[in-house]
Structure 1
Amino acid sequence: MKSVQTGAPGAIAVVDIERPAPGPRDVLLRMRAVGICGTDVTFLHLGGMPIGPDGQTRAVPLGHEPAGEVVEVGAEVTDVKVGDRVVVNPQAAPSGIIGCGGALGGMSEYLLIEDAVVGTSLAVIPDEVPYDVAALNEPMAVALHCVNRSEAKPGDKVLVFGAGPIGLGATIWLKLRGVAHVTVADVLPERLRTALAVGADAVIDSSREDVAARLAELHGTGANSLGQPRPDTDIYIDAAGVAAVVNTALTSAKWGAKLVTVAVHKKPEPIDLGAILRSEMTILGSQGYPTEIFEVTPQLARHWDRFARLISHRVPFADVEHAFRLALTPGAAEKVIVTFGDEG
């Protein structure tokens, strides 16, 4: 079968490998759709996964956002059957995280699910959910964990920085949670249009608008610990990953506001720590999905048409090199899903 792994820096390699044979506790999936993530792009820039201080790397099988169809079931597996449509927990694989340094990658024609257990390593999705939307299960779990970390309540007013897939996913989860007002800030007009389409109450073009002033119009006016006027925004979510976003949140924060960072900051950057004293802001990190990987699945299925708006490009596996070129080109695509055969 064909499988995609990292090649030279900035490129993929499509290689021929043996189709896996499931053991008694395993399941074999025919891939139907796999998302491309920023982590994949990072591996491609590096030319693989670093293995030592001298800059050496090893090739990495790619694809940690898979959705597929069960085609073989081991003799000891009783809770899935051939023909089931499933999403996968890439972190549950005994041989390492699927598509993120482990021995297996979902960007392949077939994927072995080792020690397959429903609710741990995979979950069955309803027939009506398109495979391309099902492939959003993993990144939407990341977005849900961020929202869970925020502990947002219905009466809260929230600003999400960054209208990429995670920021937009967080926006959807916040609104499904009943949060009163969610504003999304970004610098790209098309992203802001998508934010409104998935349920944001308002958007801010941070390339030309004063974020704090606009927030005060939208959320009202509060005060920091010194009594200075600040937007009455309760929660800021950093899904952008740039220092300017963090500093905007810190300097805009009212007393007791909260900042949740889910974006990857690729290098250390200066931030205004002094501003924390003026707001006593709580800063939280959000990494992965300790419990959320299959908590998202029923809601994803129920609202799949809403989540489908996050997908900007659907590219057949036969043209997978084009799919990764899109993902590697800044501004060329938002969310690229690679499809295999009939992805419906």
Structure 2
Amino acid sequence: MKSAVVTGPGRLEITDVPVPETGPEDVLVKVRACGVCGADPHALHQGGIVPGAASTAIGHEPAGEVVAVGDRVAGISVGDHVVVDPTLVADAIIGGGGPQGALSEFLAVRQAVAGRNVIVVSDHVPWHVAALAEPLAVARRAVDRTHPRPEHQAVVFGAGPVGLGALLALKRHGVRHVAVADVQPNRLDKALKLGADAVIDSRTEDVRARLVELHGAASDAFGRQGLPGTDIYLDAAGVPAVVKTVLAGPKLGAVYGVVAIHHTPVEVDFQSLIPSELTIVHSMGHPTEMADVVADIEENTEKYALIVSDTVPFPEVERAVDLAGKPGATDKVVVTFS
């Protein structure tokens, strides 16, 4: 079979490797689509994921068709359309430095468990849309960590795939008003199409003043007035300006959820945050969220399809990874297999 493998800094090759063997507790999946994560161009740039490794198979956002099922596997059948949780496999994380990457024609899921690491998807969902399940489960976990309620008002910073997934998750929870802030007008337009109640162009608008307009004014425990009435700040952008905007004065009891990767340290004055009793939560991965996201994708397929901006055929996988690594060039790239 063919597999996309990083063989050195800036070197991505489609190589011939054996189809993985499967045992009685495993399933074999023919990959039909695989999203390209921001971690994939980063791995290509640095020459792999595990330092010193001769090669690294990449890709961890697969959707595909089951072609073989072990005798001890229940609830999964040949022909099922599925998505795979790359972190819940027995041998190693798929696309995380282990022997398998999902940018391959076939994928073995060790110790397959229906609904846990192999989740069946309705046939009406296109492959490239089903492949959104993994990254949007990351967004769903980040939102769940903020404990949203219908009476809340929220803002999502960053309208990339995870930020848009957070918007959809907040709406799924019934949050009454969700604003989305970004610097790219095309992403803000997409956020509105996906159900954002308002958008903020942070290049040209004062974000905090706009939040006061949208969410009303509130106060903290010291009685400081005029603070945004925003209950949940969800950071899917990962830039210092977001941190400064939130910490400049949240309302009493607000929550700041961080799912973005911050590459630049930011100085925080925790003394100034005491009057707000701000809760700061981080999230990583998706230990239990993929099944919920799949159910939502099945119900709202056309809406989720708007998140995908580019589909690239597998023989052009190098172009797909390069495109995904260019900020502002695209939104969400998915590699498709014939």
Which of 323, 329, 333 is the aligned partner of 1:326? 323
What secondary structure sits across from 2:8 in the alignment?
Answer: coil
> Residue in 1 aligned with 2:191?
195
Could you tell me how far apart the structure 2 residues matched to 1:116 and 1:50 are?
25
Q: 1:170 aligns with which of 161, 166, 169?
A: 166
Note the alpha carbon deviations across 1:201-238, whole angstroms, 9 max, x for none. 00000111000111111111001233222011111000
1:73 partnered with 2:46: no
Give secondary structure in 1 for the equivalent of 2:261: coil
Pairing 1:12-51 to 2, within 5 Å after superposition: 12-51=12-51
My pick for the range that moved more, 98-107 or 38-47, is: 38-47
* DSSP 3-state at the match of 1:48: coil
Distance 1:19 1:215 in 2: 53
Question: 4+ residue stretches of structure 1 with deviation over 6 A?
Answer: none
Q: Give RMSD over aligned pairs.
A: 1.4
Q: Which of these residues, 128, 131, 149, is aligned with residue 127 of structure 2? A: 131
Q: Partners of 1:94 and 1:248 in 2: how far apart?
A: 42
The 5-angstrom pairing of residues 1-344 of structure 1 reads: 1-51=1-51, 56-228=52-224, 229-341=226-338
Q: 1:329 to 1:22 in 2, by over 3 A?
A: same
Q: Distance in 1 between matches of 2:203 and 2:10?
A: 29
Partner amino acid, structure 2, of 1:151: H
Does the CA contact (< 8 Å) of 1:243 and 1:271 recur in 2? no
1:279 counterpart letter in structure 2? S
CA contact (8 A) 2:239 2:264 kept: no
Normalised TM-score (structure 1):
0.94
How many residues are matched?
A: 337
Verify the 8 A CA contact 2:217 2:228 in the aligned structure 1. Answer: yes
Distance in 2 (alpha carbons) for counterparts of 1:12 and 1:109: 16
| 1:309–1:252 Cα change, 3 Å | farther
Q: Distance in 1 between matches of 2:271 and 2:158?
A: 24
CA displacement 1:124-182 (0-9 Å, x = unmatched)? 11110111111011111111111111111101110100001111001011112111000
Q: For 2:292, what is the secondary structure of its paired residue? A: coil
Per-residue deviation, 1:58: 4.8
Partner Cα separation in structure 1 for residue 4 and residue 332 of structure 2 = 18
* 1:57 Cα offset (Å): 4.8
Which secondary structure does the structure 2 equivalent of 1:236 belong to?
A: strand
Output the CA distance in 2 between the equivalents of 1:147 and 1:176. 10
Secondary structure of the corresponding residue to residue 175 of structure 1: helix
- Rate the CA distance shift 1:224–1:57 in 2: closer, same or farther, 3 A: farther
> 3-state SS of the aligned residue for 1:25?
coil
* Partners of 1:24 and 1:74 within 8 A in 2: yes
Task: Give the residue type in structure 1 aligned to 2:260.
Answer: A
The answer for unaligned runs of 5 or more in structure 1 is: none
What is the rounded CA distance, in whole Å, between the counterparts of 1:265 and 1:257 in structure 2?
21
| Structure 1 pair 170–277 and aligned structure 2 pair: CA distance change class (3 A) | same
Distance in 2, Cα, partners of 1:224 & 1:188: 32
Whole-angstrom distance in 2 between the partners of 1:332 and 1:272: 35
Name whichever of 111-120 and 207-216 sits farther off: 111-120
SS in 2 for 1:246: helix
Matched residue of 2:34: which SS? Answer: strand
| Contact 2:41-2:322 at 8 Å conserved across structures | no
Instruction: Compute the TM-score of the two structures, normalised by the length of structure 2.
Output: 0.96
In structure 2, the CA distance between the partners of 1:89 and 1:181, relative to structure 1 (3 Å rule), is same
The CA deviation at 1:40 is 1.4
CA contact (8 A) 1:20 1:111 kept: yes
Judge which range, 103-112 or 36-45, deviates more. 36-45
Give the AA of the match of 1:28: L
2: CA distance, partners of 1:65 / 1:108: 11
Deviation at 1:332, TM superposition (A): 1.1
Aligned residue for 1:183, secondary structure, equals strand
Structure 1: distance between partners of 2:207 and 2:67: 51
Alpha-carbon deviations, 1:238-260, whole Å to 9, x = none? 00011210111111411221100
Report Cα offsets for 1:51-94 as digits up to 9, x if no partner. Answer: 3xxxx455321111000001122233242221110010111111
